[in-house]
Amino acid sequence: MEEIAYAKINLALHVRAREPDGYHRIETLFAFAEDGDRLGAEAGDAITLQATGPFAAQLGGSDDNLVLKAARALQSRYGISSGAALILDKRLPVASGIGGGSADAAAALRLLVRLWDLPAEEDVLLDIAGTLGADVPACLRSELATGSGRGDRLTQEDGTQLSGLPLLLVNPGVPLSTATVFAGWDRTDRGALAEGPPLHRALRGRNDLEAPARAAVPEIDHVLALLASCDGVLLSRLSGSGATCFALFEKLEQRDAAWARVAAARPHWWQLPSRLR
């Protein structure tokens, strides 16, 4: 059995306040790529995880991996003794603003419900997801949604307008700590997400973490400048806390031309051509 851990895109991310507990109150428009990490599983006596793929070496200790935490939490919630041999094909860079770890954890929940033949109780799965991280509930559904609070209060949106739009993800190859970027936010509330259709809201929006991310990783300036100069770009922006940036295009050939142009200009940068789900 296999699940795709779809790459998460923040089409807009507005930071509204820093709460007394240290967390930030945000408003964000979540979207997801058609591609991402891949997680496979087969029956096993215990829960184990093997990591492969181009970014496997960047993963931390196995006990801290969100895939294992998700599997153990699901096992505990349903009181089962079944194990699983999990294989994570790590295709997305770590600490890159596109929800790699959160998407992997969400994929583990979806996958193990099938492997262990558990009831697909969304309220239970969302509750487990919320204990694993603020982005995991959104990644569990991997559908267009508005997130508020810490990003875990979700309102599903009509994704018809955006589904299938050509997408290019670009990362300059520099890991970026989410905590560091949030700490650099200037604590200025610049207002709420706009009302209206999703693309309008995205275009009228912003990413309030872009300034501190750029300060921490100046290479982001070059990524955004190059993407913005490509033909057919509807929207280009930093995703999450970075350092991955994205561009949405009108046509596939325009995305592919941008992909080739970025590869020629900066061959060491990571890229993922995809489409929005």
> What are the two backbone dihedrals, phi and then psi, of residue 51, each rounded to the nearest 5 degrees?
-105, 135
Peptide bond into 243 cis (omega under 30): yes
Residue 8 a catalytic site member: yes
Nearest to 135 by CA among 237, 40, 239: 239
Tokens matching residue 191: 């207002």
Provide the token pair at 113: 């419900």
- Strand locations in 158-265 (E): 166-171, 233-238, 245-249
Selected catalytic residue, list 35, 89, 104, 135: 135
Q: Where are the beta strands (DSSP E) in the chain?
A: 2-18, 24-44, 47-52, 83-89, 145-148, 153-156, 166-171, 233-238, 245-249, 270-275
What distance in Å separates the CA atoms of residue 232 and residue 237, rounded to the nearest whole number? Answer: 15
Residue in 8, 37, 69, 104 annotated catalytic: 8
What burial class does residue 22 get, using C-beta atoms within 10 Å of its C-beta: 0-12 exposed, 13-18 middle, 19+ buried?
Answer: exposed
Q: Annotated catalytic sites, by residue?
A: 8, 135
